[in-house]
Structure 1
Amino acid sequence: MQQARPLPAYLISRFHGWRATTYQDNKAWFRRLAESGQHPRAMVISCCDSRVHVTSIFGADEGEFFIHRNVANLVPPYNPDGEYHGTSAAVEYAVTSLGVAHIVVLGHSNCGGVKGCHDMCSGHAPALEEKSSFVGRWMDILRPGFDRVRQAAPEDPLRALEKEAVLVSLENLMTFPFVRAAVEDDRLTLHGLWNDTGAGALEQFDPSRAAFIPV
């Protein structure tokens, strides 16, 4: 692979700083994790957005969360077609191999993927409509959420669609047979969250109110 290059100097410097401090102070814990394997209590499905830092938000330590990130924190419907499904594979591994007790879908404000979906479905992003657009085809998952937002006509459609991205993912999770079985057996609970990155706020979906409320 001739195109690969050494890491930038600033990342190497940060690594050595981490190894000399955090790692040295917790060496026994890191070795225990390495030798005994991971036993996370929760899986978190969040956006790739660099402003969303799951472990910081919840003050999580190494080994606590099994984290999967993708554009707009989406989960596709169950579809065992033999093709490549990174998110579905992560969900399968978390539930059937790791036995996580919780799956958290974490959406966020000012999500670029969600805005792309809104623009595409509104006819303002023809490039995303192309079959060759990986982002566009991925954001097709959110089209049902866009339709619901359009019918409801909220004051802030983008924010509403960000929260629909969480709800669509929760709905799609329940199409996975092993997820549904674990939920129905009380071995797994699903949670929907939305993070306002600028305000440092967190909301959770309350099915009894059919709304997101502050935690």
Structure 2
Amino acid sequence: MEHLPQRLLEGYSAFMRGRYAAERDRYRELAREGQTPETMVIACCDSRAAPETIFDTGPGELFVVRNVANLVPPYAPDGKHHSTSAALEFAVQSLKVKHIVVLGHGRCGGIQAALSPTAEPLSPGDFIGKWMNLVAPAAETVAGNAMMTASERQTALERISIRYSIANLRTFPCVSILERKERLSLHGAWFDISTGELWTMNPESGDFQRPEVD
């Protein structure tokens, strides 16, 4: 039995011959001096929406945390396990990032699950269902809108959930204090897997619009 799937071993071999060979000095510098990314991205774990690919970034440029539906839970110092909160704490307090981007995407399975609360859980623990309860109030409102098509409801909740996550980011003292001091800025973005379009959230209105890019 292979230690890793063959596709991964082949990919690693290509990486060593290509990207690592071209950026060897950069990797050695990062190993020696540590990482200093200016941007944290909170993204979905969907295999089709990798931030490093979408933004074409090199090693050390982004600090990325990925979870189902790119959600940020509210601040809850209750002694339980909080992986996203831990990553956020490290990015803000230790790495001192200047930007946090919540990156959503189209056709998100987690959002689809939130819009179908009566669907059969994938496991007895129903981890996805419990996690998606973070946006349950919005999901209930959107799901009940018969004037929208199913795809319109999906896109609407994908974007609303980004605003939810940004609001939850502000419940963390380390985030809200630095944002007030203008040492940290929060951003929302939504990526359309089908077309490759990126939509960014207007920080004042909350509307999503296409940025002007070359």
| TM-score normalised by the chain length of structure 2 | 0.91
**Distance in structure 1 (CA, Å) of the matches to 2:175 and 2:2:** 41
**Distance in structure 2 (CA, Å) of the matches to 1:148 and 1:180:** 28
Q: Give the secondary-structure state (helix, strand or coil) at the position aligned to 1:44.
A: strand
**Structure 2 stretches lacking a partner, 5+ long:** none
**Normalized per residue, which structure has more helix?**
1
**Distance in structure 2 (CA, Å) of the matches to 1:61 and 1:132:** 38
**Distance in structure 1 (CA, Å) of the matches to 2:147 and 2:186:** 26
**Distance in structure 2 (CA, Å) of the matches to 1:131 and 1:179:** 35
Aligned residue for 1:195? 191
Report how many residues are paired.
208
Retained in 2: the 8 A contact 1:144–1:168? Answer: no
Aligned residue for 2:46? 49
Change (3 A) 1:148 1:103: farther
**Distance in structure 1 (CA, Å) of the matches to 2:46 and 2:40:** 18
- CA shift, 1:8, in A, is 1.9
**Distance in structure 1 (CA, Å) of the matches to 2:124 and 2:135:** 16
- CA shift, 1:191, in A, is 0.2
**Distance in structure 1 (CA, Å) of the matches to 2:141 and 2:121:** 23
Q: Percent identity?
A: 42
1:16-165 aligned at under 5 Å gives the runs 16-120=13-117, 124-127=118-121, 132-150=125-143, 155=148, 156-165=152-161
Alignment counterpart, residue 179 of structure 2, candidates 183, 188, 198: 183
Aligned-CA RMSD value: 1.9
| TM-score normalised by the chain length of structure 1 | 0.90
In the TM superposition, structure 1's runs of 4+ consecutive aligned residues that sit over 2 Å from their partners are: 147-155, 207-210
- Aligned residue identity for 1:83: K
